[in-house]
Structure 1
């Protein structure tokens, strides 16, 4: 039984992506699928991503983070 719990935890961790990868892949794909001009995402812990569709047809991606040391 503990092997199942450990195996499930390892699978969940292997599927985790970084914040930058999430913004550049999943959020960008969502934006393109729904034909949006701009989208802002915030993780509530200081990380923010902004994607805008430029007039040239490109996508501008801005990722910021605030860290407390």
Structure 2
């Protein structure tokens, strides 16, 4: 049986700002890049976090 009291690795590795402001998104991108993520991946994670906070950011459309 898995231990459910322990936080997931993502929660402990990435203390991201909870917010939808431009400053929060920029801070989250910088945090992701410091942790070794690529710039594209850091941007995607930061925008996803902003969307969860209620920001109206459209998803990228493929051409």
Please indicate the TM-score interval, normalised by the length of the shorter structure.
0.3 to 0.5
User: Could you state the TM-score of these two structures normalised by the residue count of structure 2?
Assistant: 0.35
Higher strand content, 1 or 2: 1
Larger radius of gyration: 1
User: Could you state the TM-score of these two structures normalised by the residue count of structure 1?
Assistant: 0.33
Higher helix content, 1 or 2: 2
Q: Which has the higher contact order (CA 8 A, sep 6+)?
A: 2
